[in-house]
Amino acid sequence: MRLVPRRALLLVLILSIAPCVTPLGGQAQPQKGQAQPTFRMRIEFVEVDASVRDKSGHFVADLTKDDFEVLEDGKRQDIASFDLVNVPVEPRPAVAVVTGRLIEPDVVSNKQVPGRVYLVVIDDLHVSPMRIRQTRKVARDFIEQNVAPNDVAMVLTTSGNRQAAQDFTSNKRLLLQAVDRVVGRKVTSPGAAAISTSLSPGIDPTTTAGIPDPGARERIFNARTTLEALTQIATFAGTIRNRRKAIVMVGEGIDYNFGKSGVGGARTPTEPDQLPIEGFIDEGSAPRLLRDTLKTFVDAANRANVTLYALDPSVFTQGGDDLVDIASGPPGNSFTDKDDREISRFGKLRDDVEAAQDNLRTLATETGGFAATGSPKNILGAFDRIREENSRYYILGYYPTNAKRDGKYRQIALRVKRPGVEVVARKGYVAPKNQKVDAASVETKEGTSAPLREALLAALPTVGLPISVVAAPFRGSAGNASVLVMLQTPPGAVRFVEKNGRFEGNLEVSFVAMDYQGKTRGGERLEFTMPLKPETAEVVSHAGLLVQSRVTLPPGRYVLRVGARDANSELVGAVHCDVEVPDYAKLPVSMSGVILASAETATANPRPDPELGKLVAEVPAVIREFRRTDEISALAEIYDAKLATPHNIDIVTTVVGEDGREVFRREETRSTSQIQAAWGGFGYLMNVPLATIAPGAYLLRIEATSRLDANSPVARDTMFTVVSK
């Protein structure tokens, strides 16, 4: 058989595949029988995570599905899913350490299952503006010390402030930026309000009991909003399967006395079985509505198998902050009433602090977590414990035999047949009483298959069909950016099936772009049918597939949900890709994303991007691994807004190794006379030969500096690996 050169076959493939393209937009209407653009999922599944330890306290990691038995209300349940989660804490990449900066990889892939899952919730409705700095520090310290490269985390606020929110990501910089946008919104506590009123001029402190509290209505509203937000967050976290979900809440607590609850220690194995919260033993000072809302959250969290850990930032203050805004009045800490009894002015304030801390403990212990209050030492020690509890465990899932939605408590008993071990797991949940509630929806283009739609909706990446994705913004028109989205499958990932002498493949790709408010701002669906000759199919199988698309977006922060489905193998993969679109029209000097390409990494590219093809001859590479016999082509566009004054732009391209040694450097100067006024930029292409570079990890950096503003360079960093073969 005569072999056709690989790149010639790839060209044949490009010409022979006809993609079916359906962009996401408001013009197209779904045809009869097609799926609607909006899809939802329902939850009909119970998961139980369990920590199993021997008599010495060591985690037992060699159990199998057959070693476990699950009973619900005494009836044995069939275990539908079983998994051991043993997450290592991975170090930062060596290049990031050497350069002194945390280098963010530009490629997102689903080849690794996410490790720990953290939902960092800042209860800004119960954080004093005077303590926001300490609150941010606690949240930042937790993220910096606990979120490893293989973990995912999100940041939310109970007020619903979307500016201070970040979807699931492993990018610490984005998480920390969200934390830094949080502001404190706490209303003065009841005790502080009473003291302020009693110290107001003209008010007799012995007769203030009947004076209305001006902040009471807002305080109750905020407390209810916090509890309802936690309920929604827990319900959302319940859609995540095969992982323990940890809500790490940073806040001072709700400063109402809820009374003593009827439950405690939901995960404590040494205590006898207890009933769930059915109410409160005593009334306390909180309105009944708030107590009912608290119960709703506890029910939702236990039903979703979610654990809450509470961190109180007020432990880092001196305790007198709440008195700063109190009006000045007669000196002294106390006064004497008409019966000559000494009344402490600040006893009520102390009661509020204790109530808030009690409520933090209730929220945590009723969901199997704990609260860190009292001292800074407790906060610092909590980090390691949270990480440990979410690193090693078993997770079992079952479809309950009792499918009634009657709002009754279902007791769970998890047993291990091996003697001499101790099991820590939740003891039950409350079945929902309402009708089935649809989960949040994500808009996709009609025609997207149900499995791919489900993967795009999932809160975490979907591991199945391996994919790698790069999203590179370029300057567009009318103040927008043109974001190039590239998805690549590795060699052999897409299955070809022989039919009538040909090998047929079918790849479906869909993506949506969502802004920080959760609104869909664009997307596309493509389907590639590939009836290939045997020799062409063989080359494509060894080369992999590259799919390119573009979406127009205004400046801002976005999450691209990108997925692909192989119709022959029915494997589906999906990833979440964070994209920050610069405001190119307002920046003096700016740069597009960086595109890498090489001759030896050429893949089957059935839909080449026409604009990119004008700038680089090679097929772009998404996978960042190159052989020493290869040469990298690095492409970027550089934009300059100060064209009225002719000047030069200095461009430096460097490659730095793991040991910090610079192995490549090229310097170049461009004049703004080369820039097209309508476009505002020029293309920059640099070839980096790899023959003299030893195998290892490297950082490629392109930096541009305008001589009109030498102190404000712009740069893009891209990590890649060189291999010997």
Task: Using pLDDT thresholds of 50, 70 and 90, give the confidence band for residue 155.
Answer: very high
CA distances for 638 relative to 472, 500, 671, angstroms: 13, 50, 12
Rounded (to 5) percent helix, strand, coil in the chain: 25, 35, 45
Beta strands per DSSP E along 54-126: 68-72, 75-77, 81-86, 108-109, 117-122
More confident residue, 643 or 30: 643
What burial letters (b/e) apply to 670-708, b meaning 16+ CB within 10 Å?
A: bebeebeeeebbbebebebebeebeeebbbbbbebbbeb
Mean of pLDDT values over 522-540: 89
In the chain, residues under CATH classification 2.60.40.10 are 1-27+442-582
pLDDT at position 205, please?
Answer: 43
Q: pLDDT tens digits, residue range 388-422?
A: 899 999 999 999 999 888 888 899 999 999 999 99
Strands 696-706 and 714-723: antiparallel
Nearest 5°: the CA angle 148, 149, 155 is 70
Tokens representing residue 692 in the block? 């003299």
pLDDT, tens only, 36-56: 333 333 446 899 999 999 999
Q: Closest Cα partner for 154 from 167, 141, 144? A: 167
The answer, yes or no, to whether residue 213 has pLDDT greater than 70, is: no
Lowest-confidence range among 10-24, 265-279, 312-326, 358-372? 265-279
CATH 3.40.50.410 domain extents, the chain: 116-390
Residue 131, φ and ψ in degrees, nearest 5: -115, 15
Residue 534 has pLDDT above 70, yes or no: yes
Where b means 16+ CB within 10 Å and e means fewer, 130-144 reads ebbebbbebbbebbe
Burial class from Cβ neighbours inside 10 Å (0-12, 13-18, 19+) for residue 421 reads: middle
Higher-confidence position of 440 and 541: 541
* Among 155, 171, 435, 133, residue whose Cα is nearest residue 313: 133
Distance, in Å, from the CA atom of 326 to the CA atom of 334, rounded to the nearest integer, reads: 15
Q: What is the pLDDT of residue 627?
A: 94
Q: Are 260 and 394 in contact (CB under 8 A)?
A: no
pLDDT of 724 > 50? The answer is yes
pLDDT of residue 377: 87
pLDDT tens, 352-385?
A: 788 889 999 999 998 989 999 988 888 888 999 9
Strands 245-250 and 306-311: parallel
Cα angle 121-124-125, degrees, rounded to a multiple of 5: 120
Cα dihedral 532, 534, 538, 541 in deg (nearest 10): 40
Which residues make up the CATH 2.60.40.3880 domain(s) of the chain? 624-725
Q: In sequence order, what are the residues at sequence separation of 6 or more whose Cβ sits closer than 8 angstroms to the Cβ of residue 680?
A: 475, 584, 639, 640, 641, 643
According to DSSP, the residues that pair with 520 across neighbouring strands are 514
* Mean pLDDT of all residues in 426-442: 68
Mean pLDDT of 142-153: 92
More confident residue, 601 or 284: 601
> Distance between CA atoms of 574 and 553, rounded to whole angstroms?
21
Distance CA 117, CA 471 (A): 24
Cβ contacts of 434-437, under 8 Å, gap ≥ 24: 434/405, 435/405, 436/42, 436/405, 437/42, 437/235
> Hey, what CATH class is 624-725 in?
mainly beta
What is the structure's pLDDT at 331?
A: 45
- pTM for this entry: 0.83
> Residue 87: which pLDDT band, with cuts at 50, 70 and 90?
confident
pLDDT-derived band at 186, boundaries 50, 70, 90: very high
Residues 6+ apart with CB under 8 A from 644: none
Residue 508 has pLDDT above 60, yes or no: yes
Q: What are phi and psi of 80, to 5 degrees?
A: -90, -25
Determine which of 63-67, 81-85, 441-445 has the lowest per-residue pLDDT on average: 441-445
Q: Which fold has domain 1-27+442-582?
A: Immunoglobulin-like (2.60.40)
Instruction: Write the DSSP string, 651-715.
Output: EEEEEEETTS-EEEEEEEEEEGGGS-TTT-EEEEEEEEE-TTSPSEEEEEEEEEEETTSTT--EE
Per-residue confidence band for 346, with pLDDT thresholds at 50, 70 and 90: low
The torsion angle over the Cα atoms of residues 218, 219, 224 and 229, rounded to 10 degrees, is 90
Please give the average per-residue pLDDT across 324-345, as a whole number: 47
Residue 613's φ and ψ, nearest 5 degrees, are -60, -25
According to the model, what pLDDT value does residue 675 have? 78
Chain CA centroid to CA 175, Å? 8
pLDDT digits (tens, 9 = 90+) for 246-301: 999 999 999 877 765 544 434 444 333 333 444 443 445 677 888 889 999 999 99
Q: Which residues are within 8 A (CB) of 110 and not within 5 positions of it... i.e. 6 or more apart?
A: 461, 462, 463, 464, 466, 467, 573, 574, 575
Q: What is the pLDDT of residues 92-127, one digit of tens each?
A: 666 666 666 778 889 999 988 888 999 999 999 999
pLDDT of residue 417: 93
Q: What is the pLDDT of residues 695-706, one digit of tens each?
A: 999 999 999 999
The answer to whether the beta carbons of residues 516 and 165 sit under 8 Å apart is yes
The size of the chain, in residues, is 725
**Average pLDDT, whole number, for the chain?**
82
Largest CA distance in the chain: 110
Looking at residue 614, what is its pLDDT?
Answer: 80
Strands (E), 449-604: 468-475, 481-489, 497-499, 502-515, 520-532, 545-553, 556-566, 571-581, 589-591, 595-597
pLDDT at position 258: 74
Distance in angstroms (rounded) separating the CA atoms of residues 370 and 379 = 11
For residue 204, name the pLDDT band (cuts at 50, 70, 90). very low
pLDDT(215) > 80: no
Residue 242: what pLDDT? 85
**pLDDT of 330 over the 50 cut:** no
CATH 3.40.50.410 fits 116-390, yes or no: yes
Q: What gap in Å lies between CA 213 and CA 228, rounded to an integer?
A: 24
Q: For residues 322-340, give the mean pLDDT.
A: 46
User: Alpha helix locations (H) across 307-346?
Assistant: none
